[in-house]
């Protein structure tokens, strides 16, 4: 590599600049350096990821930098997936064009399942029952604006609840002589000014910064968490927080509090959650692919922000029957998050109910690897094929909605899901 480290750091910082045009210009300059032989081009492996969060929900990475990091890790495709936001999608598409990398766009949200047979169940949401995380994948690019109109009112309701949770959290941390202000401490670390969402992670990240300012790192923080906030820290998390040289200290502190402190100030989401039937109806109108996000029972959380908890596995057949009858097209899951028996059961039920299978490892901290090693196993090879099919769907639906994977016209032309996957994979590869 000919580019000096100091200059390289400037480019990497520019990829996260406040202005999106500056971010894209920095990416274009990096790609130009690669073409000129002044920067080594990363080697691509046969791995994909359709669930990368950006600063438009919660992440260390802007859409441009997320694309750069995905490419640097060796991904052959990348997918943006922000909570309640499509604010970063256009930038992500442009970053893909600049770097000649195939991308796909979607958003994640939560829906109410009240009035369905799933009401009263804890689905894939650690915080409350009868509410599920779902996604729309493969959004046709002409409908980013339509998605923004759909999501904006829910973000507004979410911020009303965020303000109330911040007040409630201030009561919890009052003994520490620390106060959080939603407008001055939390909003500025989000992209809410540009269509981004504010999540519970933003609230806890702001608290992480305040705690570090007040108590530093190491034993002092651990003591405050245990004795003042009455948190239970796992040996793994405690070791990370005792390490004052830990480069991801603020994110690990956030993860520990999300796992053990969140419930002390959490307020149930209501108005910010569309009903599942309205979500499905919107997915059909915008031409995207409606997907249920399988979580599965959690043992030892690999990201440190989920405690041991049971989710869908005890009623999984009921779940699949109902998401099928509700009109979901797909199921998305994370191969590194579950055991092989869990995933074999999920894949078998997907086949039984004719669900398109989408892989995605959610990336929202700098500690996470963009590469999912499990995808190299032969039992998951179909997930790479389905990613190319997803990209093909997005390309064709961007030309015309009747060319989408689940349009009536496409289903008439290619009656089976297997045929459609093969068709759209071929389209994308060409």
Three-state DSSP string of the chain: CCCCHHHHHHHHHHCCCCCHHHHHHHHHHHHHHHHCCCCCCCCCCCCCCCCECCCCCCCCCCHHHHHHHHHHHCCCEEEEEEECECCCHHHHHHHHHHHCCEEEEEEEEEEECCCCCCCCCCCCCCCCCCEEEEEEECCCHHHHHHHHHHHHHHHHHHHHHHHHHHHHHHHHCHHHCCCCCHHHHHHHHCCHHHCCCCCHHHHHHHHHHHHHHHHCCCHHHHHHHHHHCCCCCCHHHHHHHHCCCCCCHHHHHHHHHHHHCHHHCCCCCCCCCCEHHHHHHHHHHHCCEEEEECCCCECCCCCCCCCCECCCHHHHHHHHHHHHHHCCCEEEECCCCCCHHHHHHHHHHHHHHCCEEEECCCECCCCCCCCCHHHHCHHHHHHHHHHHHHHHHHHHHHHCHHHCCCCHHHHHHCCCHHHHHHHHHHHHHC
Centre a 10 Å sphere on the Cβ of residue 365 and count the other Cβ atoms it contains.
20
Distance, in Å, from the CA atom of 113 to the CA atom of 119, rounded to the nearest integer, reads 6
Token pair of 186, please? Answer: 């939390």
Token pair of 353, please? Answer: 């109910």
Strand partners, 309: 298
Q: What tens-digit pLDDT sequence spans the chain (430 residues)? A: 566 666 888 989 999 999 999 999 999 999 999 999 989 888 878 789 999 999 999 999 999 999 999 999 999 999 999 999 999 999 999 999 999 999 999 999 999 999 999 999 999 999 999 999 999 999 999 999 999 999 999 999 999 999 999 999 999 999 999 999 999 999 999 999 999 999 999 999 999 999 999 999 999 999 999 999 999 999 999 999 999 999 999 999 999 999 889 999 999 999 999 999 999 999 999 999 999 999 998 875 444 445 678 999 999 999 999 999 999 999 999 988 888 999 999 999 999 999 999 998 889 999 998 988 888 888 999 999 999 999 999 999 999 999 999 999 999 999 999 999 999 999 998 8
What is the phi/psi pair of residue 292, to 5°? Answer: -90, 135
With contact defined as beta carbons under 8 Å apart, do 317 and 349 qualify?
A: yes
Distance, in Å, from the CA atom of 63 to the CA atom of 94, rounded to the nearest integer, reads 10
Burial group, residue 265, by CB count within 10 angstroms (0-12, 13-18, 19+): buried
**Which residues, at least 6 apart from 86, have a Cβ–Cβ distance to it below 8 Å?**
105, 107, 139, 144, 147, 148, 151, 195
Token pair of 160, please? Answer: 């009303």
- Give the per-residue pLDDT at 18: 95
- Give the per-residue pLDDT at 302: 46
Domain range summary for the chain, segments of one domain joined by +:
1-39
Pairing state between β 102-112 and 131-137: antiparallel
Distance, in Å, from the CA atom of 54 to the CA atom of 364, rounded to the nearest integer, reads 7
- Give the per-residue pLDDT at 299: 72
Token pair of 152, please? Answer: 């904006």
**Which residues, at least 6 apart from 181, have a Cβ–Cβ distance to it below 8 Å?**
166
24-44: buried (b, 16+ CB within 10 Å) or exposed (e) per residue? bbbbeebbebeeeeebeeeee
- Give the per-residue pLDDT at 2: 65
- Give the per-residue pLDDT at 272: 97
């Amino acid at each position: 590599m000919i580019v000096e480290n100091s200059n390289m750091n400037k480019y990497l910082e520019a990829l996260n600049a406040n202005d999106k045009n500056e971010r894209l210009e920095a990416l274009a300059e990096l790609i130009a350096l690669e073409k000129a032989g002044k920067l080594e081009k990363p080697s691509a492996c046969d791995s994909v990821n359709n669930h990368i969060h950006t600063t438009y929900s919660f992440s260390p990475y802007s859409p441009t930098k997320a694309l750069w990091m995905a490419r640097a890790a060796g991904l052959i495709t990348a997918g943006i997936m922000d909570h309640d936001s499509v604010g970063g999608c256009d930038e992500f598409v442009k970053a893909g064009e600049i770097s000649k990398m195939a991308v796909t766009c979607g958003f994640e949200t939560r829906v109410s399942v009240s009035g369905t047979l799933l009401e009263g169940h804890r689905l894939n949401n650690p915080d409350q029952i009868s509410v599920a995380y779902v996604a729309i994948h493969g959004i046709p690019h002409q409908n980013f604006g339509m998605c923004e109109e759909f999501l904006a009112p829910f973000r507004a309701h979410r911020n009303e609840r965020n303000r109330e949770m911040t007040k409630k959290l201030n009561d919890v941390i009052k003994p520490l002589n620390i106060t959080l202000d939603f407008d001055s401490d939390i909003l500025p670390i989000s992209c809410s000014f540009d269509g981004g969402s504010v999540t519970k992670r933003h609230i806890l990240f702001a608290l992480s910064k305040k705690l570090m300012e007040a108590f530093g790192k190491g034993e002092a923080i651990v003591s405050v968490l245990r004795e003042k906030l009455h948190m239970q820290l796992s040996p793994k998390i405690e070791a990370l927080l005792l390490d004052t040289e830990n480069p991801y200290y603020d994110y690990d502190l956030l993860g520990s509090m999300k796992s053990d402190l969140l419930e002390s100030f959490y307020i149930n989401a209501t108005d910010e959650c569309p009903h599942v039937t309205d979500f499905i109806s919107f997915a059909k109108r915008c031409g995207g692919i409606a997907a249920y996000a399988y979580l599965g029972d959690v043992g030892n959380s690999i990201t440190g922000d989920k405690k041991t908890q049971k989710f869908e596995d005890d009623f999984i057949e009921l779940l699949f029957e109902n998401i099928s009858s509700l009109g979901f097209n797909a199921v998305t899951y994370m191969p590194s998050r579950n055991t092989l028996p869990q995933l074999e059961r999920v894949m078998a039920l997907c086949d039984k109910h004719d669900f398109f299978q989408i892989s995605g490892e959610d990336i929202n901290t700098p500690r996470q690897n963009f590469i999912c090693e499990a995808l190299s196993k032969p039992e998951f090879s179909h997930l790479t094929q389905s990613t190319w099919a997803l990209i093909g769907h997005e390309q064709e639906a961007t030309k015309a909605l009747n060319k989408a994977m689940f349009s009536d016209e496409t289903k008439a032309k290619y009656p089976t899901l297997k045929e459609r996957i093969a068709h759209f994979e071929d389209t994308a590869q060409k």
